[in-house]
Amino acid sequence: MLPRVAREALGVKPGGKLLVIVEEGNVCLLTAPENWSEFIYGLSEEVWRKLGGGEAFLAQERVPWESKK
């Protein structure tokens, strides 16, 4: 059970969901998103740009698949 003061600071209602992230002995509490698709949209946009976009990445990944045929 999360104390009321902590729920209010996080903006979570009683019964609401939290994300608990534990990393190197530290604990971080975040409010869980209502819609995960919207939450992660664009999350790795910079990484995809560095890879040349989704189509370029997929074409590169298919090269080894095609050679095995």
pLDDT digits (tens, 9 = 90+) for 5-41: 988 898 888 888 888 999 999 999 988 888 888 888 8
H helix runs in the chain, sequence order: 4-10, 36-40, 45-50, 54-67
- Enumerate residues 6+ apart whose C-beta is below 8 A from 23: none
pLDDT tens for 42-69 read: 888 887 788 787 788 888 889 888 887 6
Report if pTM > 0.85: no
